[in-house]
Structure 1
Amino acid sequence: LKTKGTRGFHGSRRNKANDNVDQTIDKLNSWLDAHKENKEVMTKKLRELQDQSQNMHSKVLALNNEATVLFSSAAYFLNM
């Protein structure tokens, strides 16, 4: 994108065009860095939520098993 050689823009017009390209590249790099950082944060949070989901799933299964045992015990005592 930058002007090179002796053809095309000359002097201050060339410098101004090159400065605009540099500013655009800097802004794009800044956005890219922010995007990468956001992606890393979101990936980490997603992993945390997946771990929490698995943990809660295990707890629900354990509570369900405990409830089944309690209902079986209650049914046994009611039938005595």
Structure 2
Amino acid sequence: MALLYKNPAIATLVHKETPYRGQWVIYQVPNLLFSACHEVEQLNGDRRVVEEVALHSLADAQAFSSYLSSYGWSRVWKP
């Protein structure tokens, strides 16, 4: 049940040219696994997960982030 990071959301990516596509958020889940969720904002302001990808290591999470970057998604840096 160990976690590498304090915040479970370790990366957020958005497609700046088409913001209506929502965002991909890479989460750390227990047992050092990761999950990438494609979240889209609904009319009522809630976010809904429309797609989820299981990632089995930090390397997989980094590779998936690079894959999304090749299609125009970019990382949002939050303080």
TM-score normalized with structure 1 length: 0.24
Structure holding more helix per residue? 1
Q: Which has the larger radius of gyration?
A: 1
Structure holding more strand per residue? 2
